[in-house]
């Protein structure tokens, strides 16, 4: 049993009235009657909440996996076994990673009613999240006390890289509505000449594609049929160095990159290309050869789920050596990294140029929205002018990095973290449309 705030307030008022009886005797009577009425009311309320042994039933329902950075729904199924309407307060012991010490849901249940209450959680880190007990507090008729029902449902949920974006693309692709995800539809320029099959020539076919040898054998005109070249190799390379631990909206750049990699890999396989994965820091941590079999996405998802960092400087020399030895076919290499200054970029530029000589290299790095807002803010004091100059210099450095990479034939994307997934997918589609890959 838990005494409510209402009971404590009424008890304090009764005690004050009784103490005022020292000055006016009438308050002895008023205070005494108030105390008696309060005790009787408490006894009635205790009977109202303890008259039913079962009282309330509650079950928690949630997914086996949570999607990192997305809204995940948790459902609580409640049943009122009392023969009266009740007001309830619910405290669910959500994972400690959320650091929410004020979680509280208030609602009411009619007599015999079953209701489903749901709330939303947005994880910001990958890993295993543990849910503990669910506490339901039933308020008495006059709200003088509460009865607690505790339901022990310890549950572990794995938080995986964002797979909700993939689900949305799967649903939208049925009706060809990728634009609702922000993905552009780009017309392909020219055509590749990958042979598909030989078919009978019909009026209107390109006469330049007539296969004269097959026509001679069949004694009728036959033409070659070509299709757009498929099965390019697309490697997502994630730099797990200490710079990727910067956070935006409470989520690290590393997790943004992992979410984008998962969505891009799905899109790559949907386009009949081969998706691969490389993660590195000082050494190469994981390497998944490019492929498009039915288990490729699951393999990539499980690998990304386990990725962690030791906050050290990344070694691009080891990345170059791995790609030189393991990736023999010309591929699109998408590198998620962070370059804050030209100096940091030029330190890795020799290895990027070597990669660009054999592959198409796309470097993805990030804008700092907070720095841009500070740079655009109207200065007032001398300190504001000083800070604004520094911020504008950082912005200029980012633009210079893009120009320097372009000078050496290296593609680049400078994007806000929240727009990373859409921008990378659009760039991939654009490169395919222009036959760059």
**Inter-CA distances, 214 with 224, 358, 390, Å:** 9, 37, 70
Is residue 206 helix, strand or coil? Answer: coil
- Whole-number pLDDT of residue 339: 85
What is the arithmetic mean of pLDDT over 320-349?
90
Spatial distance between the Cα atoms of 263 and 161, rounded to a whole number of angstroms: 9
Residue recorded with tokens 């994007």: 415
The band of 175, judged by pLDDT with boundaries at 50, 70 and 90, is very low
Spatial distance between the Cα atoms of 183 and 430, rounded to a whole number of angstroms: 10
> Is residue 188 pLDDT above 50, yes or no?
no
> Is residue 82 pLDDT above 70, yes or no?
yes
| Structural contact between residues 107 and 88, judged by C-beta atoms closer than 8 angstroms | yes
- Whole-number pLDDT of residue 171: 43
- Whole-number pLDDT of residue 207: 78
Which range, of 319-328, 376-385, 405-414, averages the lowest pLDDT? 376-385
> Is residue 176 pLDDT above 50, yes or no?
no
> Is residue 398 pLDDT above 60, yes or no?
yes
DSSP secondary structure letter of residue 187? P
- List the beta bridge partners of residue 298: none
Higher pLDDT, 81 or 436: 81
What is the arithmetic mean of pLDDT over 68-87?
91
| Structural contact between residues 104 and 89, judged by C-beta atoms closer than 8 angstroms | yes
The band of 183, judged by pLDDT with boundaries at 50, 70 and 90, is low
To the nearest whole percent, how much of the chain has pLDDT over 90? 35
Give the residue among 393, 388, 390 at the shortest CA–CA distance from 378: 388
Strand ranges (E), 161-283: 194-200, 222-227, 233-239, 247-248, 251-252, 274-280
What is the arithmetic mean of pLDDT over 335-362?
90
Q: Mean pLDDT in the chain?
A: 85
Spatial distance between the Cα atoms of 39 and 19, rounded to a whole number of angstroms: 18
The band of 34, judged by pLDDT with boundaries at 50, 70 and 90, is confident
> Is residue 144 pLDDT above 50, yes or no?
yes
The band of 60, judged by pLDDT with boundaries at 50, 70 and 90, is very high
> Is residue 323 pLDDT above 90, yes or no?
yes
| Structural contact between residues 420 and 260, judged by C-beta atoms closer than 8 angstroms | yes
Chain segment 91-131, per-residue pLDDT in tens: 999 998 888 888 999 999 998 899 999 999 999 888 899 99
- Whole-number pLDDT of residue 373: 65
Helix (H) / strand (E) element for 160: namely: strand 145-160
Which range, of 207-216, 252-261, 347-356, averages the lowest pLDDT? 207-216
Which range, of 85-99, 374-388, 410-424, averages the lowest pLDDT? 374-388
What is the arithmetic mean of pLDDT over 121-147?
90
- Whole-number pLDDT of residue 203: 84
- Whole-number pLDDT of residue 290: 93
- Whole-number pLDDT of residue 352: 93
- Whole-number pLDDT of residue 168: 63
DSSP secondary structure letter of residue 283? S
- Whole-number pLDDT of residue 230: 59
> Is residue 379 pLDDT above 80, yes or no?
no
Higher pLDDT, 428 or 22: 428
* Beta-carbon contacts of residue 251 (< 8 Å; ≥ 6 apart): 68, 69, 124, 125, 417
Higher pLDDT, 390 or 433: 433
What is the arithmetic mean of pLDDT over 382-387?
73
> Long-range CB contacts (< 8 A, 24+ apart) of 326-330?
326/287, 326/289, 327/233, 327/235, 327/276, 327/290, 327/359, 329/233, 330/233, 330/358, 330/359, 330/360, 330/437
> Is residue 185 pLDDT above 60, yes or no?
no
The band of 276, judged by pLDDT with boundaries at 50, 70 and 90, is very high
The band of 150, judged by pLDDT with boundaries at 50, 70 and 90, is very high
What is the arithmetic mean of pLDDT over 173-192?
48
Give helix then strand counts, H and E, for the chain.
Answer: 11, 19
> Is residue 172 pLDDT above 50, yes or no?
no
């Amino acid at each position: 049993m838990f005494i409510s705030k209402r009971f404590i307030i009424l008890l304090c008022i009764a005690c004050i009235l009784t103490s005022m009886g020292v000055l006016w005797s009438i308050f002895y009577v008023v205070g005494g009657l108030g105390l008696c009425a309060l005790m009787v009311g408490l006894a009635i309320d205790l009977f109202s909440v303890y008259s039913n042994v079962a009282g309330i039933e509650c079950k928690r329902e949630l997914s086996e996996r949570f999607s990192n950075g997305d809204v995940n729904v948790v459902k609580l199924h409640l049943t009122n076994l009392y023969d009266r309407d009740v007001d309830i307060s619910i405290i669910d012991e959500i994972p400690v990673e959320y650091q929410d010490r004020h979680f509280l849901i208030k609602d009411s249940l009619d007599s015999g009613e079953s209701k489903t209450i749901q709330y939303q959680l947005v994880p910001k880190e990958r890993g295993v999240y543990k849910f503990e007990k669910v506490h339901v507090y039933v308020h008495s008729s006059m709200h003088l006390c509460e009865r607690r029902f505790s339901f022990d449902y310890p549950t572990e949920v794995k938080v995986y890289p964002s797979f909700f974006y993939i689900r949305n693309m799967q649903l939208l692709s049925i009706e060809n509505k990728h634009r609702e995800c922000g993905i552009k539809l780009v017309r392909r320029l020219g055509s590749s000449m990958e042979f598909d099959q030989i078919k009978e020539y019909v009026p209107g076919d390109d006469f330049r594609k007539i296969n004269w040898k097959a026509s001679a054998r069949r004694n009728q005109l036959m033409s070659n049929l070509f299709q757009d070249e498929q099965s390019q190799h697309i490697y997502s390379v994630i730099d797990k160095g200490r710079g990727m631990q910067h956070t935006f909206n409470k989520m690290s750049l590393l997790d943004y990159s992992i979410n984008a990699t998962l969505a891009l890999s799905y899109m790559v396989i949907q386009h009949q290309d081969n998706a691969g994965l490389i993660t590195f820091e000082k050494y190469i941590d994981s390497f998944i050869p490019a492929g498009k079999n039915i288990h490729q996405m699951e393999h990539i998802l499980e690998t990304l789920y386990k990725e962690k960092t030791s906050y050290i400087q990344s070694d691009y020399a080891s990345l170059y050596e791995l790609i030189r030895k393991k990736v023999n076919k010309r591929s699109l290499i998408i590198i998620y990294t962070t370059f804050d200054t030209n100096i940091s970029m030029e330190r890795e530029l020799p290895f990027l140029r070597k990669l660009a000589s054999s592959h198409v290299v796309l470097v993805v790095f990030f804008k700092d929205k907070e720095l841009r807002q500070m740079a655009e803010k109207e200065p007032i004091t001398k300190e504001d002018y000083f800070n604004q100059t520094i911020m504008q210099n950082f912005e200029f450095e980012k633009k210079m990095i893009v120009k320097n990479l372009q000078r050496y034939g290296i593609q680049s994307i400078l994007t806000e973290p929240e727009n990373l997934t859409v921008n990378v997918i659009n760039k991939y589609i654009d490169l395919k449309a222009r036959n760059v890959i």
